[in-house]
Amino acid sequence: MEYAVQGTLDELGTPLDQITFVVFDLETTGVSADEHAITEIGAVKVRGGEVLGEFGTLVDPGSPIPPFISVLTGITDAMVTAAPRIDSVLPSFLEFARGSTLVAHNAGFDLSFVRAACAALGYPAPGNPVVDTVVLARRLLTRDEVPNYKLATLAKVFSRTEPCHRALADARATVDVLHALIERAGSFGVHTLEELKGFVRAPTPEQRRKRHLANGVPGEPGVYVFEDDRGEPLYVGKSTNLRNRVRSYFTAAETRPRIREMVAIAERIRTIVCSTPLEAEVRELRMIGSAKPRYNRRSRFPERMVWLKLTDEPFPRLSVVREVRDDGAGYLGPFGSTRAAEDARAALHETIPLRRCTERITPRVGRPACALAGIGRCGAPCEGRQSVEEYGLHAAAARRAMELDASEVFSAIEARMERLSREQRYEEAAADRDRLAAYVRVSARMQRLRGLTSLPELVAAAPLTNGDWEIHVVRHGRLVSAGVMPRGAHPTPFVDALVATAETVVPGPGPVPAASAEETECVLRWLETPGVRLVRVEGGWSLPIGGAGRFRARIELAYRSREQYGDREGRPRR
């Protein structure tokens, strides 16, 4: 006869209402713990739903705060001039957190800065248990409940504190989010810290039950398709090793609520073996774009991309369109959203006095001038104040800024943004930052794409570790053939055969005439991989010397910071 034995407290774990949590947030001068520094620390100590104390201080980073970061956080050099340095702040923060469980939203980001500061000052890195509210939210909340896992989004649902990229306010908002998630976890039988950690890591019963779907999947590069009981695609993915990737969906490593939901519906997995990883990546994009599986979020609607068009008329204007035509107009894009295209248009309008009215005007048919003419922002060709030739100089400048030289637009917006920052008009400066980022990033992207898509044919090869060679044929930016040449084979007949059997391409109009922009970018990334060699190139492959690409590095910090802060509030970037 067996008797039940009551477990010890150690075996049962520590109840969550007895855990002391220190919920903290940092503001920094950038996104790299190795290169950037902390500007603010905020922390809230809680236990059993009660606030036990708060810790908050600005930190002198020892270097100027980039203007883009000041726009994002509101923290300026003047604010941190009298603040303590990190060598004075860190011991106090470590003491405040001693013996607690640390909590942060995308904890890896904040902890990387704490660990870097500890290493620089000779302190041991904190060994506290860690709870990441991003990971917990992704385990507990579905996309039907929240559109994303950013702190700002979760705070709207669970907190009365609005995150504002200031450390203590964001930490307070994270406290409310933590308590709401712990309450939600309780409905799953999670009541101790140990159970909470195990709950985040554990696969669901549906994941365990569906593991047999991965049986027989080959260990080759290719594309996999999760299908429902009717054979409809639920999710399309790619991998350099199909077996390993597919099996991961049925383990604790897969924590995305939406994907776990998909696994519960799936009844079969179809695989397509590809010659090379690049072919698999391209096939994935094409299949997602055509089948539009409901559990894929990326690349489902390439046809929804928008363009900024410099119209072909006597007095051209900038128009946001969804179609590229062979009409002699100038195009900038593609943009992922109308908002981004409008931001880029605003950046061009800030520098070049193009008309903004939508009516078609000619030298013979005009209309009264608008207010922009009165403040010198438009030459009023509608009233005949500018001839076609005079206005044409502005149109030519706009086309040059869109296709060849970004310096005029970049310099004008940067100067205005720095002036607004000095005047502490941060919202206006942030709007200019977004416009400049939209313009520079898309202009640089289009120029890179056009450099490849202008080539009628390109053949390139990359060596593999076993002595084989991956070989790809690209026409007008579209992958048309792929193969692996065995070690020791003669390259000429192999390449000739790939070229002869490659897909025929009739290019259309615009910068991406034969494939989606995403596909051409995949090809470009592969071509830029170390070791890739050009075998044949028909035409000249070049970029404009004054193109927007030379400004990417100057806005990279701002754009990466905005992304990283967004990811701190959503999905960690790894």
Q: Which residues, 6 or more positions from 523, have their beta carbon under 8 angstroms from its beta carbon? A: 278, 282, 452, 472, 474, 477, 478, 479
DSSP run (H or E) holding 431: helix 426-453
Q: What does the pLDDT read at residue 99?
A: 95
Output the pLDDT for position 67.
82
Q: Crossing angle for the helix pair 193-201 and 133-140, nearest 10 degrees? A: 70
The answer to whether residues 418 and 526 touch, using CB atoms and an 8 Å cutoff, is: no
Pairing relationship of beta strands 101-104 and 130-132 according to DSSP bridges: parallel
Per-10-residue mean pLDDT, the chain, length 574: 39 83 95 92 96 96 88 88 95 96 95 96 94 90 85 92 90 96 90 86 81 94 96 96 93 81 94 97 96 90 90 91 90 93 94 84 66 63 78 92 92 88 85 90 94 97 95 98 95 96 94 95 96 95 88 68 46 34
pLDDT score, position 366: 59
- Which pLDDT does position 2 carry in this prediction? 37
| Residue spans of alpha helices (H) in 133-291 | 133-140, 151-158, 167-186, 193-201, 205-209, 242-248, 257-265, 277-291
The type of residue at 110 is: D
Read off the tokens for 301: 């609607």
Catalytic residue among 105, 165, 349, 472: 165
165 part of the active site: yes
Write down the pTM of the prediction: 0.67
Q: So what's the pLDDT on residue 258?
A: 84
SS3 of 496-558: HHHHHCCCCCCCCCCCCCCCCHHHHHHHHHHHCCCCCEEEEEECCCCCCCCCHHHHHHHHHHH
Other beta carbons within 10 Å of 368: 8
Residues 399, 360: Cα–Cα separation, whole Å: 19
* Contact predicate 140/112, CB 8 Å: no
370 vs 366: CA distance, rounded Å: 12
Distance CA 52, CA 267 (A): 50
Dihedrals phi, psi of 130, to nearest 5 degrees: -130, 135
317's tokens: 């204007």
Determine the residue type at 81. Answer: T
